Amino acid sequence: MNIRTSHRRGIPLKERMGQGWYRFSRSKLSILGLAGAALLVFAAVFAPIIAPYPHHAGKVVDFANANQPPSLQNLCGTDTMGRDVFSRIIYALRSTLLMGVVVLSVAVPFGTSMGLIAGYFQGSLIDSLITRLTDIFLAIPPLILALVVASLLKPNLLNAMLAITVTWWTWYARLAYGMATSLNREYYIRSAQLSGAGWIHIVFREMLPNCLSPILTKMTLDIGIVIMIGAALSFVGLGEQPPAPSLGTMISDGAKYMPTQWWLTVFPALTIMIIVLSFNLLGDSFRDLFSTEEKK
């Protein structure tokens, strides 16, 4: 991995941001991704206003209206309890997006710090400890590890987020470790050491800014994967518990009624696809943005 000093102090921040936006806005796909992501966040935040039947996200039964196909009153049909699927999807967006945000906001700083510290103190006891720890967590595939951890705890949204966070930090630790070990050889690190800077300053003020772009790019691309794992967890029943709606549980509940009541699974599945698509497009454009910055 080629790490150039992207921490350019010469050009004022405002101008860099302006340039960045110019390049970003030229690609239609990135605008699409941004629009999609913004729309989803908006829908999640303003769910009570957007959802036509906000109370259906809670304990409601309306058997008279159960199992209706999509119509003008129920855009995505109703489920076996008579609840409006569309409203439930909008509310489910909240836990889904929240999961992505929370997991990454905890896993990324923690994992990155661990990786940078281990990399900076390369060869020492701290390095060995942290590296062996990450090896343990990476010994099995992340989805399975998340499942194991989630199953050991009480099934609710918080524990599901905890389970995924516990799994996910190791990827960032590994990424940061690789970058830190190559940055160790850079002259500005050595000169900082010689002038008596403490390790906290070096790790967080010198190394970190140079690692930001790959980490930010990975973060945006990861949102989609974390959301998919979250959906997988709730598919098995380890996430948000009923009656609160969750995309994974909606799919697994609806799978039993395939193919006759197809709307029960198809719409939540489409929603997941749209979420992951938007954030993936966003992540791709971030990656292109950061790589062109280094090329020119």
Partner 1 sequence: MGSSSFFAFKRVLWSLAALVGLSLLIFTLSRIIPGDPARMALGPRATEEAVQELRHELRLDRPLPLQYVSWLASVLKGDFGLSLMTMRSVTQDIKIFLPATLELVLIAALIQLIFGILLGVLSTSCQGTWLDYLLRITAYLGVVTPSFVFAILFMLLFGFLFPVLPVMGRTSVLLQLPPITGMLIADSLLRGDFSTMWNAFTHLILPATALAMNGMSQLARITRSAMVDNLGKDYIVMEAAQGISRKKIFFHYLLRPSIIPAVSVMALQVGSLFGNAFLVESIFNWPGLSRYGVQAMLFKDLNAVSAVVCIIGCVFIIANIVVDILVAVIDPRIRLKAGE
Q: Which window, 85-93, 197-205, 210-218, 267-275, contacts partner 1 (CB under 8 A)?
A: 267-275
Among 258, 291, 292, 294, binds partner 1 (CB under 8 A): 258
**Rounded Cα gap, residues 232 and 127, in angstroms:** 33
- Residue 151 or 181 having the CB closest to partner 1: 151
Q: How far is the CB of 128 from partner 1 (least distance, A)?
A: 11
- Residue 90 or 275 having the CB closest to partner 1: 275
Among 117, 232, 250, 282, binds partner 1 (CB under 8 A): 232
Q: Which of residues 24-53 bind partner 1 (CB under 8 A)?
A: none
Does 244 sit near partner 1 (CB under 8 A)?
no
- Residue 17 or 270 having the CB closest to partner 1: 270
**Do the beta carbons of residue 51 and residue 63 sit within 8 Å?**
no
Neighbours of 75 (CB within 10 A): 15
x/- track of binding to partner 1 for residues 152-171 (CB under 8 A) = xx------------------
Does 108 sit near partner 1 (CB under 8 A)?
no
Q: Which window, 10-18, 35-43, 85-93, 131-139, contacts partner 1 (CB under 8 A)?
A: 131-139
Does 280 sit near partner 1 (CB under 8 A)?
yes
- Residue 119 or 224 having the CB closest to partner 1: 224
Does 234 sit near partner 1 (CB under 8 A)?
no
Does 122 sit near partner 1 (CB under 8 A)?
no
Alpha-carbon distances of 289 from 39, 55, 83, 274, 280, rounded to whole Å? 22, 42, 43, 22, 14
Helix residue ranges, H only, the chain: 13-26, 28-45, 47-50, 85-120, 125-137, 142-152, 157-183, 187-194, 199-201, 208-236, 247-255, 263-295
Does 135 sit near partner 1 (CB under 8 A)?
yes
Q: 84 forms bridges with which residues in the sheet?
A: 78
Q: 78 forms bridges with which residues in the sheet?
A: 84
Does 62 sit near partner 1 (CB under 8 A)?
no
Which DSSP symbol is given to 84?
B
Among 17, 39, 129, 140, binds partner 1 (CB under 8 A): 140
**Do the beta carbons of residue 70 and residue 248 sit within 8 Å?**
no
Nearest one of 117, 93, 96 to 164, comparing CA atoms: 96
How many positions of this chain bind partner 1 (CB under 8 A)? 38
Tokens of 259: 């193919």
Neighbours of 188 (CB within 10 A): 13
**Rounded Cα gap, residues 148 and 162, in angstroms:** 12
**Rounded Cα gap, residues 128 and 224, in angstroms:** 31
**Rounded Cα gap, residues 281 and 263, in angstroms:** 26
Among 13, 125, 139, 194, binds partner 1 (CB under 8 A): 139
Tokens of 232: 């997988």
x/- track of binding to partner 1 for residues 208-227 (CB under 8 A) = ----------------x---
Q: Contact residues for partner 1 (CB under 8 A)?
A: 132, 135-144, 147-149, 151-153, 224, 228, 231-232, 235-238, 251-252, 255, 258-259, 262, 265, 269, 272-273, 276-277, 280
